[in-house]
Amino acid sequence: MTQETLKIAVQKSGRLYEGSMQLLKECGIEISNGNNQLRVLSGNFPVEIFFLRDDDIPEYVQDAVADIGFVGQNVVNEKNKQVQVIEKLGFGKCRLSLAVPKNGPLQSVNDLNGKKIATSYPVILAAFLKEKNISSSIHEISGSVEIAPRIGLADAICDLVSSGSTLFTNELKEIETILSSEAVLVSNKELSTSKKIILESLLFRIRAVRKAKNNKYVLLNAPNNKLESICKLLPGMKSPTILPLAEPGWSSVHSVISESDFWNVIEQLKAAGAQGILIIPIEKMVM
């Protein structure tokens, strides 16, 4: 009997391709071929990768052509298919925003009443406008949305933004974020038991990789009389590990801190008397 495989839909090329392949690699899943094939089997984990256009992924997952997919939350919301969002993946971060000409008369969302908005996200935009009780006409275009106001096609745009430089070069300013997005793992709603087991095992690895990315290992030397105040700054997984150094009166302290607290905590550690602080990336973290 051949073992069942979990079919994973990944964007064939574009902004999510690298992040998706990198995540699978960090999960220890070998994918031998590049993206020149539609379908690739892993050599060491029961998954098959399907390379597709991102817009098609929600529908293919709904229809069980693929079992799960890596796709932007923006595409999930826009396509509105029957899929389950299982996990945020931490890459492909962006926001869907409303933007208007920088020096024009429009200043806020309420000014959009009766105006024309160009977007590739008519479904999300319509829901947002309805909720805010604003009636604008939505002009759907598939690309180069940012030039619409300049060529007189629309008064405002609703488009994805990451660095903001596209808006800047087109003399547009953001007035409202409609959706914060990142790549997510979506799943078909009726996976077989054996596919659920493979998915659980994949999720276990994804969570370990993501957790490790959000944390750093800290190693430092502390004079024993400052240990207490230094340890208070370090939450660690349970509590910091403290080992005596060969030099009398000094200890080595090992702990884990989260990426978001990083700079703040490092400065405080230094101020509290810590020396020889080493910050080491963590490869995987299993709690």
**For binding to ligand PRT (CB under 6 A), which residues are involved?**
11, 14-16, 53-55, 72, 74-75, 92, 94, 159-166, 181
Closest by alpha carbon to 65, among 36, 38, 29, 35?
38
Residue number with the shortest CB distance to Zn ion?
55
| One-character DSSP codes across 39-83 | EEEBSSSSEEEEEE-GGGHHHHHHTTSSSEEEEEHHHHHHH--S-
Contact criterion met (CB below 8 Å) for 70 and 119: no
CB of 26 to ligand PRT, least distance (A): 19
Task: Tell me: does residue 159 bind Zn ion (CB under 5 A).
Answer: no
Q: 230: exposed, middle or buried (C-beta count within 10 Å: 0-12, 13-18, 19+)?
A: buried
CB of 132 to ligand PRT, least distance (A): 22
Could you give the CA distance from residue 87 to residue 245 in angstroms, rounded to a whole number? Answer: 43
| Secondary structure letter of residue 170 according to DSSP | T
* 270 interacts with, out of Zn ion, ligand PRT, none, CB within 5 to 8 A per kind: none
Contact criterion met (CB below 8 Å) for 237 and 285: no
Site for Zn ion in 24-83 (CB under 5 A): 54-55
CB of 51 to Zn ion, least distance (A): 13
Per DSSP, the chain holds a count of helices (H) and strands (E) of 8, 15
Contact criterion met (CB below 8 Å) for 146 and 165: no
Residue 56 or 155 having the CB closest to ligand PRT: 56
CB of 23 to ligand PRT, least distance (A): 14
* 166 interacts with, out of ligand PRT, Zn ion, none, CB within 5 to 8 A per kind: ligand PRT
Residue 54 or 87 having the CB closest to Zn ion: 54
* 187 interacts with, out of Zn ion, ligand PRT, none, CB within 5 to 8 A per kind: none
CB of 161 to Zn ion, least distance (A): 16
CB of 204 to ligand PRT, least distance (A): 25
CB of 75 to Zn ion, least distance (A): 7
Could you give the CA distance from residue 204 to residue 206 in angstroms, rounded to a whole number? Answer: 6
Residue 21 or 94 having the CB closest to ligand PRT: 94
Residue 97 or 136 having the CB closest to ligand PRT: 97
CB of 138 to ligand PRT, least distance (A): 17
Residue 139 or 226 having the CB closest to ligand PRT: 139
* 74 interacts with, out of Zn ion, ligand PRT, none, CB within 5 to 8 A per kind: ligand PRT
Contact criterion met (CB below 8 Å) for 217 and 259: no
| Number of residues forming the site for Zn ion (CB under 5 A) | 2
Residue 19 or 46 having the CB closest to ligand PRT: 19
Residue 54 or 155 having the CB closest to Zn ion: 54
Q: Where does the chain show beta strands of DSSP type E?
A: 6-11, 39-41, 47-52, 68-72, 84-88, 94-101, 116-119, 137-140, 156-161, 172-181, 183-187, 215-223, 241-244, 250-258, 275-281
Closest by alpha carbon to 136, among 154, 107, 172, 112?
112
Residue 89 or 112 having the CB closest to ligand PRT: 89
Contact criterion met (CB below 8 Å) for 20 and 10: yes
